[in-house]
Chain A
């Protein structure tokens, strides 16, 4: 059963990985504005075409 110790270690390190990812994304401001990106993603890349004209 002592393999359980290893398993605790594994599960915790995976969870900590996610926690760090969360903290980093918060720090980078990913959750500061949750509205604008949803609009921004809908813009076409048309501006590149018009540049070439």
Chain B
């Protein structure tokens, strides 16, 4: 079975499903788009794992783009291994790997069958939502490095970052929450059962008093775990907030729980009545359930990131003329390092080569590549776009510019302690209920009706417990967060959701947000070129490492290479050579002495073959699909501002939407973006920054809401409040409109629960409310509120044509 390269069209790659544009690699009667895809198939076929291709069609990810060579020697270092491997015994090691490429059931199948690929792998288990793979391997049979290389070979290169792997804490917190809910539910149900006799009598259901007592004391025992374990978080949080002489929503809840418990104990001992243990455990159960629902974390997304997850874990240094791959922590100032094509500069360094090209888009937002010369400082985070370049380290990674930028925005977390509006209403409501209960109690005291006084106090508090109100907001927020996440908008928490609905100013970043990241769109404008011409242009552009040449080469892609001689390149002008006896030139308009008649500011490369200028390549940013219609829709309701770190080449296009009056700015440094946002805020605007890279991180923090737009497996994600999937950008207007209905639903729920409360309260204050009615009314109101919020949010989502 040999490889054969043939020209074909409209063939889809057997491995990744991409169109095989011009070149098709044939192997085993299957077509592949590149040799990378073919070799993955080869490995799987040799190991009889072709089932991979029968679960999902074309399950792979294209291998043609992942040509960046990777160095894993640092994985043999002991320190690195200790960080990555979380459990190790004599024979086996356990490791959790984050695998961004994981996307379908075939991936799960293959990754869980790793043991068939290498006998050293004992087992592997996938956590799909987290895109995590847990591997148990025998480290004498297969080293960590070999394991990672194997994964890379089959197209699932792990994202090796120490930070992503320390997610075990979240797991433990989640489990604890589950225990609490389980226990509270268990106790609540059983106490309800035990209270039944008491509901239908006045504490003398059974003729034998010891039986009544047995029921009462069993219920009391069951309420202890609810009070001391399940409700602990309410007490702890109230205690902490009271110590700061403030009040939060947990205070009235904790108060109600405590009073209900004490009064119940009192009643059980004195009057042999059950008291309110069922209501107390019911409150705790429903509150915990509501909070669990609201705080469900998105496993696959992390909103908080540490700077080190952006930088490579290892660098290649040169020591006594020998290249060594070591982990980043071990480099020292003055070390000489090699940064290869497409690699990220790990820390601020000084360039040793004559010149090299860098992509700073991640740090500054500028999309055009920058040429740097010998002895210039290269900042960490830049992506190397030339061939190999050598540098000396000038600053430790912990002191680099990018780290400074990062730390300066970590220090300013200001919108965390805002109490939400709904919680404020709850707070007032609780205060009123507290006062009402005490007033009713005092009233009956003065009438010398002590039994009545107690009963009214408790029933008022229990019946009108902010429970229904509180649940309506927790459940509505939970519903909205879930519905939005199903539509590609991930909101960090309920506070961010509420802030999001108030936003009136959108601040956009250009590169990576309005335009596609790392993708520029090239058009050829001019005469029709024949195949020979394309071949000539391709051959010439292949010679140069200039980013524009590379872009043109990629645009033409595979054609035939021709014989080339007399190649010359002129810095800042262009390149020329003799091909097929013709002189061909690629370069700027000045150099070729042609008039640029177009009225735009795109970067252009002119083509001249045999003294005739045939046209030019136009290199521009590719905008996201439908972005302009989305912006037009948004513009009718919100103020739109663009702060771009890029040059003003696209000004003409963007002026249709953004005006300088509103604050259209180009060439913005991160600090300038922040200042502009601060100015808008001082004018009373509530701003949302929409961006993608670290250059927006400062602005994310300063604006009221930071929204990160992410591509599929983008891990260059700064800290933010909201994450939007890039392909969902077009539904942003309807999502923003839908958001506002959260308030409408809340108001409807409030009205309903207030009606319940007024009915309940009016009876309770008179001391007429029998505990059995209170016990029925309380869960009934809770359930009806929860159901109401559930169906209303789904109804509104449907009206906005969202996925539900």
Contact = CB atoms under 8 A, between A and B. Distances in A.
Decide whether A and B assemble into one complex.
Answer: yes
Interface of A: 1-2, 4-5, 8, 11-12, 15-16, 18-19, 22-23, 26-27, 29, 31-33, 35-36, 39-40, 42-44, 46-47, 50-51, 53
B780 interface: no
Contacts of A51: 48, 116
Contacts of A8: 194, 214-215, 218
B272 to A, nearest CB: 16
B189 A15 contact: yes
Interface string B101-141: 00001001100110010000000001111100000000000
A4 B206 contact: yes
Contacts of A44: 51
7 contacts: A4-B214, A5-B211, A5-B214, A19-B183, A36-B127, A47-B51, A47-B116
Interface of B: 48-51, 55, 105, 108-109, 112-113, 116, 126-130, 171, 174-175, 178-179, 182-183, 186, 189-190, 193-194, 206-208, 211, 214-215, 218
B109 A19 contact: no
A31 B175 contact: yes
Nearest to B190: A15
A15 B208 contact: no
A-side interface mostly: helix
A12 B174 contact: no
A43 B183 contact: no
Given A1-B207, A8-B214, 6 more contacts: A26-B182, A31-B178, A33-B128, A36-B126, A39-B105, A47-B51
A36 B182 contact: no
Nearest to A5: B214
B365 to A, nearest CB: 35
A14 to B, nearest CB: 10
A36 to B, nearest CB: 4
A12 B51 CA distance: 50
A42 B56 CA distance: 12
Nearest to B109: A43
Given A1-B207, A12-B218, A39-B105, A33 B175 contact: no
Nearest to A22: B182
Contact of B175 (A16, A18, A26, A53): A26
B183 A40 contact: no
Contact of A33 (B50, B127, B179): B127
Nearest to A40: B108
B219 to A, nearest CB: 10
Given A5-B211, A22-B182, A50-B48, A36 B175 contact: no
Contacts of B190: 11-12, 15
A2 B208 contact: yes
Contacts of A1: 206-208, 211
Contacts of B175: 26-27, 31-32
**Nearest 7 pairs of A and B residues by beta carbon:** A36-B128, A50-B48, A19-B186, A22-B182, A39-B105, A33-B127, A35-B129
Contacts of A32: 127, 171, 174-175
